[in-house]
Structure 1
Amino acid sequence: MDARQRMEQLVEQLNHYSYHYYTLDQPLISDKEYDALYDELTALEAETGVTLPDSPTIRVGGELLEGFKPHRHLAPLWSLDKAQNEEQLLNWNGRVQRLIADYNSKNPDHPLPDPTYVVELKFDGLTLNLTYSDGKLVQASTRGNGAVGEGILAQVKTIKSVPLTIPYREGTIEVQGEGIMNLSVLSKYNETAAEPLKNARNAAAGALRNLNPKTTAERKLSAFFYNVGYSDNIQFADHREMMDFLKENRFKVNPYITYHNDFAQVMEELHQIVERRSTLDYLIDGAVIKITDMRIREALGYTDKFPRWAVAFKFEAEETTTILESVSWNVGRTGKVTPIAKVEPVELAGVTVQNCTLNNIGDIERKNLKFALGTRVFIRRSNDVIPEILGKVTDEQDGEEIIFPTECPACGSTLEQRGAHLFCNNRLDCKPQIVSRITHFASRDAMDIETFSEKTAEQLYEEVHIHEPADLYTLSFEDLIKLERFGEKKANNLLEAIEQSKGRDLAAFLFALGIPNTGKSTTKVLADHFRSLQAVMNASAEELTALPDIGDIVADSIVSFFADPLNQAGIQKMLDLGVEAKAPEEQVAPPADSFFNGKTVVLTGTLHKLTRDEAGARLEALGAKVTGSVSKKTDVVVAGEKAGSKLAKAQALGITVIEDEDEFIRLLEGGNFFS
């Protein structure tokens, strides 16, 4: 056996032992035996100058990285709606039941089954999104904004419970999980650390978002996995099937996962998790309840931010007291002026708290905080990054008064009170409003102007007098090259990104405008329904409320926004400068007489006249649903050359099989099927 063969043998052995040790918690050999094999592999790598791509020696961390590169996820990573108490949890389940009943009333021939539930722990770490292509780990990233995260592949490779290769090799998948630091590992780390870590969550997040992978490796992180967010070649009937897939592919799945037919069982399980929480060797901050059946999930869909088929049940938040020192006032994109409280620094839930939210002047009065400066207050760190002030410790008005501003702290304009909020109406010359509007306009979910940041918006406002989004399209090379931090390359890159943004679609443009009370899903509804910017601008409140998920408040916001002469002028200026606000592409209805219309189809084996992607796209255009696994719900299996287990399973289940590629193409082109 030569050195290369021995290295391959050692890598396979060591990865097998690591899987049993770190993922299954079932060690097969002693540490001494493992170390001997590891040392032998290290010596061979030094001798040959070769390191195999899945070698365990990679996990010690590599060279210092220059910076994090953005990674666009193949599928969105959604946030979860939150329930703070049992009443809110029951309300969520009630909405689920109503949505299912509504769907079934409209689809009596294909009703959804009764919902069943899965309960998982909600880990308090850092969300990971791993990309595997043909069985190899090719990318890892943070959640980021749900669409784009930071690439942290080198850091994630140091986590020994993350498989570098998996048995599934039939395309690309994205797998989501949570990077964590076990409490026992944290305790041991702090025994010898020069700078002890305060909290396991921050320790994990700090390690994974560290440009030195060696630091990540030193933290000895672990990870649990709970979702396949994207696949180009496999689908699952339910959550249990997806979890089985993860286990079969050597991902570490948390053992505390339970399935329930009745929601009362879910509630009982949550009580048990609360009792079990203190015995766990990792941090959790709640539990996640999901609908088990994937067909129900698809029917329920998503809001702007959350899947309707899942909810996070948050444990009771941690609270403490501290001194309220001062209150400052921040101006936002819409002109809303928000109070921010500075408190005496205090440790809460593993972090040092210095700033707290106060929401608005109504919140200050409701919580008896008007005369609270210099007094002790209750604070709570729950779902928000910034903790919340709950109220004064005493009921007496024994502190200094919080003075509500009458003028904008940024521009000096007279403030207007609307309800519980203060607003600055100086849209044309209030720097924080303008900078925030331009930053929002350029953001990824809006016009997606690459490399643009809030700092860029501020610099353009100060030095080039960019006062509205439309002004971005008037920028020249001469404007930018004279700015600090702008060389020729950066100036040209920004101008090119601005030019490319002119072609964004109508939904993105509407979102970029920042219409109050209007999110991404609403702007997509507007774009798909009206199909032109002018039609949206001319829409009446009655027309708008007839659309899904648009109520009176949102409709009034849209109508008022487009009735404003300043907004009209800004939009016209952008159109005159070449912004297209493209209408969405026409959705062509699939031919009703196609053999594949309404059928669930599985592609397996090798096709020679079409690629797998081409075949899938043509099937979907004909109204088929293309899945990656054969089940009783499968209608047709298209079997190319070297079709294996999927073909055998289809034959065993009596599913229609098409093995002749020419016959398959004939059917795609509208031919009749002859059994």
Structure 2
Amino acid sequence: MDKISRIEELIKRVTELNYHYYTLDEPIVSDSEYDELYDELVALEKETGYVKDTSPTQRVGEVLLEGFVKHNHINPLYSLDKAQTFGELNDWVVRCEKMVSNYNAINEDKLPELKYIIELKFDGLTINLTYNNGKLQMAATRGNGTVGEEILPQVKTIRSVPLEIDFKGLMEVQGEGLMPLSELDNYNKNNEIQLKNARNAAAGALRNLNPKETEKRHLTAFFYNIGYIEGKEFSSQLEMVDFIKENKFKVNKFFRIAKNLEEIEETINYIDEYRKTIDILTDGAVIKINDLKTREVLGYTNKFPRWAIAYKFAPEEVSTILKDVVWNVGRTGKVTPSAILEPVEIGDVTVQRATLNNYDDILRKKVELNSRVLIRRSNDVIPEILGVIDDGRETTPIELPTKCPYCHTDLIKDGVHIFCPNSMSCEPQLVSRLVHFASRDAMNIDGLSEKTIEKMLDILNVRQISQIYDLTADNLLKIPGFKEKKTNNLLTAIEKSKDVKLENFIYAIGIPNVGIKTSEDLAKKFKEFSNLSKATVEELTEVDDIGEITAEAIVEFFHDEEIVNGIRSLLSKGIKIENPKEKSIVSSEKFNEKRIVITGSFEKYKRKDLEKIFKEKGAKTGSSVSKNTDFVIVGTDPGSKLTKAQELGVQIIYEDDLEEFIKD
């Protein structure tokens, strides 16, 4: 009990430190002091098995999500009407004043004189969080305003989002998920695949099915509205924001009160300059009426609240000459064009490069070498080419490359994109391929991190995956940060990885569209690696969930000479592939071919372990509840799947009954 008490104490202390660091931007201890407390908490949780959902250690989950689940918001999330001129803004103010005047003329309960709250208009992804009994229960995207998508594991990676709050009633709070510009800059410095801008980076992170990838982008979030709350009322926006702050949500420090249009315009002009000095992406201002009774009277149109409006700044556009197009190979093998421009000033920035999404984009915009192009930069890291200005100059068509600019492998076209299929030795792909190769579900080489791999390429001239099996202690000791213990640990992990199960090896070599589940299915079907490498499209499509496109990609993979040579080199290093053993599955009527969905978290089990148990008993596990679902296994904080199961009359097994249910 002393250890449990210490865990509770550490959770409270680390949560407080996170609040000061991530929400208030006011750290109260050194990084080393924080790390010491956090590491102690991790160690105690591991030792005792006592892990609370609200522990700071539970922000990044281990489970790779299979897909997004729809979520019904309690109250609708309205979008805002927009103004791009002060004239349009004036029209909105006049309408508000007229409606208030008309109401006061015929009602005894007079509405107060209008006051406007002005906030920054964030350029990220709207998130809607549901709290109940003081705990974060659900997080969702805005979607169409009524139905969004569940993104709880992704939102939990945002350190400024509280997992537990003081208010114990049911509540929905809205905010904006954002990637700070400094984090975007750091990410692009350290990653081959460049993120175009902070808005897309945040939206892409929050809609990534792997929460660990979301966590790498170090998002933040600001909160500004409560869409639904049980047992509490507010009289004004100011009162609501104070309540949001009291419950330790992060609120942006920019907040202005205005009494009339003139003061609104002054504030907007100030924001236009102020936004260039801050670390978050903004593209305008939001103006709201402060009094909530007035909001209720003004109401809504079909699309927008009448009591709020967004003022958007116009993006900056200039023209310049396109001098060249270079083709870059990303770490996933995608080959994308980048425009080299005659340098031009946009605001305070000299622009020399611009985005061209793909070759179809080049053709659609009629972009050619030496053409005058119109570019736009609206807080984007890399500006975008909008189109061509015909000024009579002579231009040259841009050719679609047929070979990889790095390894000269024949490129393949998939939809509007082109790819280099040489995942084994194409240098720009090599770092991410090695990271994937070393990952837990692949070869499980502990200690072979992305930073270490980058140093290996730079210092040890590693150019093929197979070369990691040739590394010696003398090699590794040349890498900064490597001492004798770290070197021996990595060499041991590399040697241990030579004994690998077939499904893990299939996953490790990075076949397009083949994840760990498909790798397991392929291993069960073909039994040996040589059988898989010779498989036909017809044989591959016999495997569940493998369609013709994936089957053709697998066949192409094993017929590419560069890839085949890379695999041959890899196998020559002493790798022993363990073929799957036939399992005798004894299933009762209760489990045979039954469809099971697991939702929530469990004290005794990880969800992955439960899925394995049910599969071994002959059941099938899925990610969404439908009329074909036989059982829904429910843990803590189950979300919308429980509601769906109740609506459809699906049999529900709660955690208290789980042990008995698992028994045959």
Q: Structure 2 length as normaliser, TM-score?
A: 0.51
Per the alignment, do residues 238 and 354 of structure 1 end up closer, same or farther by CA in structure 2, a change over 3 Å counting? Answer: farther
Asked if structure 1 preserves the Cα contact closer than 8 Å seen for 2:205 and 2:214, the reply is: yes
Report what 1:308 is aligned to: 306
Report what 2:155 is aligned to: 156
Tell me if 1:393 matches 2:389: yes
Asked if structure 1 preserves the Cα contact closer than 8 Å seen for 2:128 and 2:141, the reply is: yes
Shift in Å, 1:320: 4.8
Report what 2:37 is aligned to: 37
- What are the superposed Cα offsets for residues 180-201 of structure 1, whole Å, 9 maximum, x if unpaired? 1111122223332243323222
Asked if structure 2 preserves the Cα contact closer than 8 Å seen for 1:345 and 1:353, the reply is: no
Distance 2:11 2:178 in 1: 25
Report what 2:181 is aligned to: 183
Distance 2:289 2:179 in 1: 29
Matched letter for residue 9 of structure 1: E
Report what 1:78 is aligned to: 78
Matched letter for residue 294 of structure 2: I
Shift in Å, 1:290: 0.7
Shift in Å, 1:393: 3.2
Distance 1:494 1:247 in 2: 40
Secondary structure of the structure 1 residue equivalent to 2:6: helix
Distance 1:352 1:224 in 2: 32
Per the alignment, do residues 235 and 220 of structure 1 end up closer, same or farther by CA in structure 2, a change over 3 Å counting? Answer: same
Shift in Å, 1:61: 3.3
Following superposition of structure 1 onto structure 2, how do residues 183-262 of structure 1 map, counting pairs within 5 Å?
183-262=181-260
- What are the superposed Cα offsets for residues 232-268 of structure 1, whole Å, 9 maximum, x if unpaired? 2222100000000000000000000111223211110
Following superposition of structure 1 onto structure 2, how do residues 486-497 of structure 1 map, counting pairs within 5 Å?
none
Asked if structure 2 preserves the Cα contact closer than 8 Å seen for 1:321 and 1:376, the reply is: yes
Tell me if 1:139 matches 2:150: no
Report what 2:296 is aligned to: 298
Report what 1:672 is aligned to: none
- What are the superposed Cα offsets for residues 470-502 of structure 1, whole Å, 9 maximum, x if unpaired? xxxxxxxxxxxxxx99xx999xx9999xxxxxx
Per the alignment, do residues 9 and 109 of structure 1 end up closer, same or farther by CA in structure 2, a change over 3 Å counting? Answer: same
Tell me if 1:115 matches 2:114: yes
The count of corresponding residues between Structure 1 and Structure 2 is 378
Matched letter for residue 275 of structure 1: E
Following superposition of structure 1 onto structure 2, how do residues 4-19 of structure 1 map, counting pairs within 5 Å?
4-19=4-19
Shift in Å, 1:109: 1.3
- What are the superposed Cα offsets for residues 606-653 of structure 1, whole Å, 9 maximum, x if unpaired? xxxxxxxxxxxxxxxxxxxxxxxxxxxxxxxxxxxxxxxxxxxxxxxx
Per the alignment, do residues 259 and 142 of structure 1 end up closer, same or farther by CA in structure 2, a change over 3 Å counting? Answer: same
Per the alignment, do residues 244 and 495 of structure 1 end up closer, same or farther by CA in structure 2, a change over 3 Å counting? Answer: closer
Distance 2:214 2:258 in 1: 38
Matched letter for residue 205 of structure 1: A
Shift in Å, 1:99: 1.8
Shift in Å, 1:323: 10
Distance 2:120 2:62 in 1: 32
CA RMSD of aligned residues (A): 4.0
Secondary structure of the structure 2 residue equivalent to 1:71: strand
Shift in Å, 1:110: 2.0
Q: Which runs of 4+ in 1 moved over 4 A?
A: 320-324, 343-357, 374-377, 379-383, 387-392, 394-399, 493-496
Secondary structure of the structure 1 residue equivalent to 2:65: coil
Secondary structure of the structure 1 residue equivalent to 2:127: strand
Distance 1:173 1:100 in 2: 29
Asked if structure 2 preserves the Cα contact closer than 8 Å seen for 1:120 and 1:287, the reply is: yes
Matched letter for residue 179 of structure 1: G
Secondary structure of the structure 2 residue equivalent to 1:80: coil
Following superposition of structure 1 onto structure 2, how do residues 367-446 of structure 1 map, counting pairs within 5 Å?
376=372, 378=374, 393=389
Following superposition of structure 1 onto structure 2, how do residues 489-528 of structure 1 map, counting pairs within 5 Å?
none
Matched letter for residue 304 of structure 1: N
Distance 1:355 1:100 in 2: 54
Secondary structure of the structure 2 residue equivalent to 1:177: strand
Report what 1:2 is aligned to: 2
Shift in Å, 1:124: 1.0
Asked if structure 2 preserves the Cα contact closer than 8 Å seen for 1:227 and 1:242, the reply is: yes
Report what 1:561 is aligned to: none
Distance 1:248 1:269 in 2: 26
Matched letter for residue 251 of structure 1: F
Asked if structure 2 preserves the Cα contact closer than 8 Å seen for 1:174 and 1:228, the reply is: yes
- Unaligned regions of 5+ residues in structure 2, if any? 323-336, 342-350, 396-546, 549-593, 596-621, 629-664
Distance 2:378 2:259 in 1: 30
Distance 2:203 2:76 in 1: 21
Matched letter for residue 109 of structure 1: E
Report what 1:100 is aligned to: 100
Shift in Å, 1:303: 1.1
Asked if structure 2 preserves the Cα contact closer than 8 Å seen for 1:356 and 1:388, the reply is: no
Shift in Å, 1:112: 1.7
Q: Judge which range, 344-353 or 51-60, deviates more.
A: 344-353
Report what 2:64 is aligned to: 64
Shift in Å, 1:88: 1.2
Report what 1:91 is aligned to: 91
Shift in Å, 1:59: 1.7
Shift in Å, 1:35: 0.5
Secondary structure of the structure 1 residue equivalent to 2:29: coil
Q: Structure 1 length as normaliser, TM-score?
A: 0.50
Asked if structure 1 preserves the Cα contact closer than 8 Å seen for 2:60 and 2:153, the reply is: no
Report what 2:405 is aligned to: none
Secondary structure of the structure 2 residue equivalent to 1:60: coil
Per the alignment, do residues 56 and 198 of structure 1 end up closer, same or farther by CA in structure 2, a change over 3 Å counting? Answer: same
- Percent identical residues: 53
Following superposition of structure 1 onto structure 2, how do residues 444-463 of structure 1 map, counting pairs within 5 Å?
none
Distance 1:228 1:301 in 2: 16
- What are the superposed Cα offsets for residues 481-534 of structure 1, whole Å, 9 maximum, x if unpaired? xxx99xx999xx9999xxxxxxxxxxxxxxxxxxxxxxxxxxxxxxxxxxxxxx
Distance 2:75 2:261 in 1: 30
Report what 1:285 is aligned to: 283
Per the alignment, do residues 350 and 176 of structure 1 end up closer, same or farther by CA in structure 2, a change over 3 Å counting? Answer: farther
Shift in Å, 1:346: 9.6
Distance 1:116 1:6 in 2: 49
Shift in Å, 1:291: 0.7
Distance 2:302 2:375 in 1: 29
Matched letter for residue 260 of structure 2: D
Shift in Å, 1:3: 1.5
Per the alignment, do residues 354 and 215 of structure 1 end up closer, same or farther by CA in structure 2, a change over 3 Å counting? Answer: closer
Asked if structure 1 preserves the Cα contact closer than 8 Å seen for 2:115 and 2:290, the reply is: yes
Report what 1:544 is aligned to: none
Distance 1:95 1:382 in 2: 30
- What are the superposed Cα offsets for residues 6-30 of structure 1, whole Å, 9 maximum, x if unpaired? 1111000100111111111111111
Per the alignment, do residues 318 and 11 of structure 1 end up closer, same or farther by CA in structure 2, a change over 3 Å counting? Answer: same
Asked if structure 1 preserves the Cα contact closer than 8 Å seen for 2:124 and 2:202, the reply is: yes
Asked if structure 2 preserves the Cα contact closer than 8 Å seen for 1:62 and 1:154, the reply is: no
Report what 2:435 is aligned to: none
Asked if structure 2 preserves the Cα contact closer than 8 Å seen for 1:199 and 1:351, the reply is: no
Per the alignment, do residues 155 and 244 of structure 1 end up closer, same or farther by CA in structure 2, a change over 3 Å counting? Answer: same
Matched letter for residue 278 of structure 2: L
Tell me if 1:26 matches 2:26: yes
- What are the superposed Cα offsets for residues 356-382 of structure 1, whole Å, 9 maximum, x if unpaired? 99xxxxxxxxxxx99x9x975646688
Matched letter for residue 116 of structure 2: Y
Distance 2:129 2:626 in 1: 30
Asked if structure 2 preserves the Cα contact closer than 8 Å seen for 1:302 and 1:308, the reply is: yes
- Unaligned regions of 5+ residues in structure 1, if any? 325-342, 358-368, 400-483, 497-675
Report what 2:575 is aligned to: none
Secondary structure of the structure 2 residue equivalent to 1:174: strand
Asked if structure 1 preserves the Cα contact closer than 8 Å seen for 2:155 and 2:161, the reply is: yes
Q: Judge which range, 59-68 or 2-11, deviates more.
A: 59-68
Per the alignment, do residues 495 and 62 of structure 1 end up closer, same or farther by CA in structure 2, a change over 3 Å counting? Answer: closer
Asked if structure 2 preserves the Cα contact closer than 8 Å seen for 1:322 and 1:346, the reply is: no
Per the alignment, do residues 344 and 50 of structure 1 end up closer, same or farther by CA in structure 2, a change over 3 Å counting? Answer: closer
Distance 2:384 2:627 in 1: 41
Secondary structure of the structure 2 residue equivalent to 1:137: strand
Per the alignment, do residues 389 and 352 of structure 1 end up closer, same or farther by CA in structure 2, a change over 3 Å counting? Answer: closer
Report what 1:167 is aligned to: 166
Secondary structure of the structure 1 residue equivalent to 2:113: coil
